[in-house]
Structure 1
């Protein structure tokens, strides 16, 4: 199945006074990769600024810009047109011996190493030891399903600095937390895993031409011979409703908008995502 989606993502900051200078990076442009083709993308800033584009270490397209004049608000609008046709079939898997071999561990060392946001202690890692007795792909899938079943999705219950261990202690979180926890558990058992940021079209069968409120979303990908995407928040494979924007070790690598500035304290403007299914 293939879909064509138009996405409009608006975010930014409001300042309690004047910001006199700022440098910013936006990761809001969907990737082009197997199963996903970005036909058009544009990032606009208000106040207007000259922008530069580059790909970061993880392959994410970054739009950078700076503002050297006073402003009370920064608004960034990203518009994209994307075709998706992702297979949800489980790929052929490698045995545990291949994952534990030196080649795989060297190649994916950064995606096997815990970060502050994905680190889990031995007791928590031990919760899924029995699930790991299966072959790698099945073990990873069962672990992601276990996270879905044991950690409640509760909007607003955590923040962007909440780590996997803290979300587990709360037994609740948002999509970011479920992704961090899944990634942390997989890495703790020797399965390379990465954090994925993007968009989710929330309806399973949306009407063509209908514009609906979409979501900035997070899910995971793991490597058991080939990369495979799974959404632990919704307990579904990452498919044609998921649009990949950025990948990395955790949320800190894929933050949609971040920067530095000189001036008054800032308040997040919020996030609006509108998605239209065109085909």
Structure 2
């Protein structure tokens, strides 16, 4: 394996506990890494306890979905996704588009879903004006990076400071959040400036100097991509290029399009869940 590509094993385990027997549940897991020029998924499986009826499909955004439902009484649900993936650096985006290109009506129509704000990414005008000043006269590709730097300078990463329902302006006002929030703010600002942008869900190996064979505690991660003639990615939480430590699961307008696991159930209230992500460089 060359230095420009890593082989990573990711084990993502989520366990739900209920106050009593749950009669039925319907769920969707988006835990299967994609295949692209940057990333090759060598093996991937999603295991469910108790055993469930499973149906896999590709959703509107291109994510692989493992849909499953259970109809027998159960007090616990455990979903374990295990994948082995080869990842490399982000390829060059290709032809570089200018702002005039991005204002073309056909292109605006083509990327309409990635230019409109969503409830999780909408940004107030004063923040947009400040970001526009920070971008200055930069071309679209550089503008994407400057937006990431602008957000990184104004927001502190703090685990537990927000939740999955926190929107971009709430996180911005707090001045802190997790990778999901930092990515939502970055995506929202890019869209407000006229730059098509999308939210990316995946994993990050936390150690650039990772030893081969050493399991490391990880977590779900999020970053951003923008279109400047081709899709370019960047990690605004860590201010690094997308590379050998990033494993992509899916993309969408915001977190709601690519949650790792979601569902509904009939029965007593959930007593909470425990999530463990373990990443190993092979």
Aligned pair partner of 1:171 in 163, 171, 175: 175
Give CA-to-partner distance per residue, 1:166-190, whole Å, 9 cap, x none: 0110000000000000000000011
Structure 1 equivalent of residue 20 of structure 2: 17
Q: CA deviation at 1:214?
A: 1.5
**TM-score calculated relative to the size of structure 2:** 0.96
1:202 is matched with 206
CA distance in 1, matches of 2:38, 2:57: 22
Partner of 1:188: 192
State whether residues 88 and 238 of structure 1, in contact with CA within 8 Å, keep that contact through their aligned partners in structure 2: no
Mapped contact 1:132–1:140 kept (Cα < 8 A):
no
1:228 pairs with one of 225, 232, 240: 232
Instruction: Provide the residue aligned with 1:59 in structure 2.
Output: 62
- Would you say how many aligned residue pairs link Structure 1 and Structure 2? 278
Query: Which residue does 2:269 correspond to in 1?
Result: 265
Aligned to 1:37: 40
Write the mapping of 1:215-254 to structure 2, written as runs, cut at 5 A.
215-254=219-258
Structure 1 position 13, deviation (Å):
1.5
CA contact (8 A) 1:23 1:261 kept: yes
Q: Deviations over 1:125-161 (max 9, x none)?
A: 1111121421111111111011111100010000100
Match of 1:156 in 2: 160
Structure 1 partner of 2:77: 74
Relative to structure 1, is the Cα distance of residues 136 and 115 closer, same or farther in structure 2, using a 3 angstrom cutoff?
Answer: same
Structure 1 position 89, deviation (Å):
5.5
**Where does the alignment leave 5 or more consecutive residues of structure 2 unmatched?**
none
Q: Secondary structure at the match of 2:274?
A: coil
For the residues of structure 2 that align with 1:140 and 1:274, how far apart are their CA atoms?
31
Do the aligned residues in 2 keep the contact of 1:88 with 1:239 (CA within 8 Å)? no
Structure 1: unaligned runs, 5 residues or longer = none
Tell me, yes or no, if the aligned pair for 2:93 and 2:231 is still in contact at 8 Å.
no
- Contact 2:93–2:230 (Cα < 8 Å) also in 1: no
Residue 53 of structure 2 is matched in structure 1 by: 50
Q: Which residue of 2 aligns with 1:26?
A: 29
Is contact 1:148-1:178 (8 Å) kept? yes
* Superposed displacement of residue 90, structure 1: 6.6
* Superposition TM-score, scaled by structure 1 size: 0.97
Deviation at 1:50, TM superposition (A): 2.2
Q: Name the CA distance, whole Å, in 2 between partners of 1:29 and 1:216.
A: 13
